Amino acid sequence: MDEAELCLFVDAQYASPYAMSAFVALCEKNLHFEIRTLDLSKHENQSGEFSSRSITQRIPTLVHKDFSLSESSAIAEYLDDMFPGASLYPIDPRMRARARQVQAWLRSDLMPLRQERSTEVVFYGRRAEPLSPAAISSSERLFSAANELLPGDSDYLFSQWSIADVDLALMLNRLVLHGDAVPVRLANYVRHQWRRHSVSRWLSQVRPSLET
């Protein structure tokens, strides 16, 4: 496989949690790849060339030679299947299934929290109103699940790092970085994940100013 022929399409603001997950996956596999950005506010993801490549017009989209794939969890699984190096998922089948469960849950639930603490809080430091009762309920479910999933005082969900750690840490960081109340154990877990080199590389990307 020619690693130089990998290209990842992400949002121009580098604020998509799913683009971040795919970017981190590529970095953790130590693969060489090109980044191309699309301005979603200008509907660049609906352009003919990208639209035909991605099929769903969504970012992130990974292009590997003549093959294109969108959806960040699918991208991570593809990278694990196609390339050697550090595994992005636990080796144990049950733990691997649990990691995929965590990813699917974070992508499909907790909508009030995602709406009221957007990733602009994480990547732009944007401030927001206090959480609504619905978002508080979502955050409490998030804390409950994270406490149940994290063994003891472990820094990882499955005894060693997996891509699910990035996804969970990002969801929690919507609250941590905004200054909302987060259990100390979970806040420490988030800070540990945020110090990872692959995450730091995503955070260091140059982001355009938000339009007001």
70 conformational bin, left if phi > 0, alpha if psi -120 to 50, beta if neither: beta
User: Please, what is the Cα angle at 112 between 181 and 183, to 5 degrees?
Assistant: 20
Q: Which CATH architecture has domain 3-87?
A: 3-Layer(aba) Sandwich (3.40)
Q: 93-196 domain in CATH 1.20.1050.10? A: yes
Question: Of all residues in the chain, what percent carry a pLDDT higher than 90?
Answer: 83
Q: What pTM value is reported for the model?
A: 0.94
pLDDT tens digits, 96-120: 999 999 999 999 999 999 999 999 9
Return residue ranges of the chain for CATH 3.40.30.10. Answer: 3-87
| Selection from 55, 61, 17 nearest residue 170 by Cα | 17
Return residue ranges of the chain for CATH 1.20.1050.10. Answer: 93-196
Please name the residue that has the structure tokens 């970095």. Answer: 27
Please name the residue that has the structure tokens 């994940």. Answer: 193
pLDDT value at residue 1: 38
Distance CA 183, CA 5 (A): 43
pLDDT tens digits, 61-83: 999 999 999 999 999 999 999 99
